[in-house]
Structure 1
Amino acid sequence: MQRYVDMVVNLAKIFKQNKGPFGMLRTMYRTDDLKWGTLVGEDKYGNKYYENNYFFYGRNRWIIYNELVHMDYDASQVPAEWYGWLHYKTDLLPHNDPNRPKYKWMIDHQQNLSGTKKAYMPYSTAKPKVEAWKPL
């Protein structure tokens, strides 16, 4: 009986966190998973990071990507400081870590742009060794 009570309580927490049935459907559509947890932080790109130790180790920290990217999200959109927390390299949140280095020469995080119009395309400035035949 207690198991069913726990399931109902957890379902109510999921319902509350996702702001109703339509929010639950949207979350299920985007992430294929319904969880409830504590919001521990948000990065400057709008990604939200959650933790819930009710779930087993390895599944108790997760990210909800910014709604603006819709379904075009991937792991390269996670900044390095949050990557370490998500993958258990550290238990300190980025805004609570006193030893986090920040130098002037460090550039801002940028996602992987492969497969987009902004992808890097190298080109050669050297003359090719073999030239194609051009008929007269």
Structure 2
Amino acid sequence: MANLTKLLGLDKFVTLFRTIRDHGGIIGSFKTLYRVDELKSGTLVGEDKYGNRYYENNMHFIGRNRWVIYADKVGLNYDGSQVPPEWFGWLHYKTDLPPHEDPSRPKYKWMMDHQQNMSGTDQAYMPYSTTRPKIEPWRPSQ
């Protein structure tokens, strides 16, 4: 039966319907398409504590077979800096083991929790200067 569907070219439709089903039907597929600009179907590998979900499908090319679906709470404001370092290593093929399966990944109590890049927000880091400015503004006498 599988050879007949491939011979008739129906395997692409089977893949399409499976992808639509994996994204929660037609409405869910449109929501995913709106947020991510792409519909992919794959195996859920894991989820981090921020709500990001990580997928893998080895039927795609290497470099395109691992991806992240960002948490729903960020909406369209997702950014690559929202991926924690342990999952960054898995996404970029530094390791083949996801963080929850990697026994060599150390976790010490002095390690800080991951924080996304806050540039462009009101929480951005702004250094202050302790030196006098070289040019002082002119203030007319009153």
Same fold (TM over 0.5): yes
Deviation of 1:2 after TM superposition, in Å, equals 1.3
In the other structure, the counterpart of 1:108 is 113
CA deviation digits over 1:10-59, x for unaligned, max 9? 11211111111111111111111111011010000000000011111111
Count of matched residue positions in the alignment of Structure 1 and Structure 2: 136
CA deviation digits over 1:84-118, x for unaligned, max 9? 10011110010000000111211000000000000
Aligned mates of 1:127, 1:52 — CA distance in 2: 57
Deviation of 1:120 after TM superposition, in Å, equals 0.5
Q: Is the aligned partner of 1:65 residue 2:60?
A: no
For normalisation by structure 2, the TM-score amounts to 0.91
Aligned mates of 2:135, 2:13 — CA distance in 1: 72
In the other structure, the counterpart of 1:95 is 100
In the other structure, the counterpart of 1:20 is 25
Structure 1: gaps of 5 or more residues: none
Deviation of 1:130 after TM superposition, in Å, equals 2.7
User: How much is the aligned-residue C-alpha RMSD, in angstroms?
Assistant: 1.1
- Structure 1 consecutive aligned stretches of length 4 or more whose deviation exceeds 3 Å: none
For normalisation by structure 1, the TM-score amounts to 0.95
Q: Is the aligned partner of 1:2 residue 2:6?
A: yes
Look at both structures and tell me which one has the larger radius of gyration over its CA atoms.
2
Structure 2: gaps of 5 or more residues: none
Aligned mates of 1:63, 1:8 — CA distance in 2: 24
Aligned mates of 2:66, 2:134 — CA distance in 1: 54
Same amino acid, percent of matched pairs: 62
Deviation of 1:6 after TM superposition, in Å, equals 1.3
Deviation of 1:128 after TM superposition, in Å, equals 2.1
User: SS where residue 28 of structure 1 aligns?
Assistant: helix
